[in-house]
Amino acid sequence: MKVVVIGGTGLIGSKVVTRLDEHGHEAVAAAPNTGVNTLTGEGLAEVLKGASVVIDVSNSPSFEDEAVMDFFRTSTANLLKAETEAGATHHVALSVVGTERLQESGYFRAKQAQEELIRASGIPYSIVHATQFFEFMKAIAAEATEGDTVRLAPVKIQPVSSDDVAATVGRTAVGAPVNGVVEVAGPDTFQLDELIRKGLAAKDDPRTVVTDVHARYFGTELEETTLLPASGAYIGETRFTEWLARQQ
């Protein structure tokens, strides 16, 4: 089965391509650096020829509100149109657990717009909602930093290994479309401020984590369970402590 992976040279995409190849599928990595650009439409018709499944794990190069909305609306519309013309029968997109609860954020409004376009396309689809990758903890800390202080809310978070996300995306892609959402999360639940504090300490980072119930997460004030998946989510095997130890 031919599977085209949009964003296939990135963190998740490259892992998905490898896993699909290992299971005997024809996985094609598509990205601007391979001559495929979903924003302009360049290369889409050619790469989608004969594809049964299209996986979109691409991300906006800018998180500025207007730019990120334009990216997801334009790239998704171009991709869905090209898929329809190519006769693809399953669209798989990677999104984020809690997207619908994080609408104060321009980024998550854009992800919601992407999901709405997919649902309205008429193409059988599966949307994979993942919790925050372990690799994303650095970005969370950076976004919450003011000077030498990292201000974070004491809310629950259930981060996941990028390997486990890739496995879920690949498994979903070769299965029947669910025409809904599949969730994946890590095996352990943490308190966000404590998790980042632990991560910074492991790297001897001198920043101080301050607990603030009103601290915003990429522009959004969080409730205790905003970032958590619903019951029934796939649970990854890799624990954060194991992953962190491997980074040393």
Cβ proximity of 5 and 17 under 8 Å: yes
DSSP structure string for 7-22 = TTTSHHHHHHHHHHHH
What mean pLDDT is predicted for residues 213-230? Answer: 96
What mean pLDDT is predicted for residues 196-221? Answer: 94
CA dihedral 227, 57, 110, 73 (to 10 degrees): -160
Rounded to whole angstroms, how far apart are CA atoms 210 and 150?
A: 6
Q: Which residue has the tokens 């609306």?
A: 73
What mean pLDDT is predicted for residues 155-183? Answer: 98
Q: Per DSSP, what are the bridge partners of residue 28?
A: 4
Nearest Cα to Cα of residue 152 among 220, 105, 205: 220
Rounded to two decimals, what is the model's pTM? 0.95
Say what the pLDDT of residue 220 is. Answer: 94
pLDDT of 52-76, one tens digit each? Answer: 999 999 999 999 999 999 999 999 9
Q: Per DSSP, what are the bridge partners of residue 216?
A: 221
- Between the two ends of the chain, the Cα-to-Cα distance in Å is 39
Residue 247 has pLDDT above 90, yes or no: no
Q: Which residue has the tokens 């024809």?
A: 26
- The domains located in the chain, with CATH, are 2-247 (3.40.50.720)
Rounded to whole angstroms, how far apart are CA atoms 193 and 152?
A: 5
pLDDT of 7-57, one tens digit each? Answer: 999 999 999 999 999 999 999 999 999 999 999 999 999 999 999 999 999
Nearest Cα to Cα of residue 149 among 207, 196, 94: 207
CA dihedral 238, 227, 10, 106 (to 10 degrees): -170
Residue 248 has pLDDT above 80, yes or no: no
Rounded to whole angstroms, how far apart are CA atoms 140 and 196?
A: 8
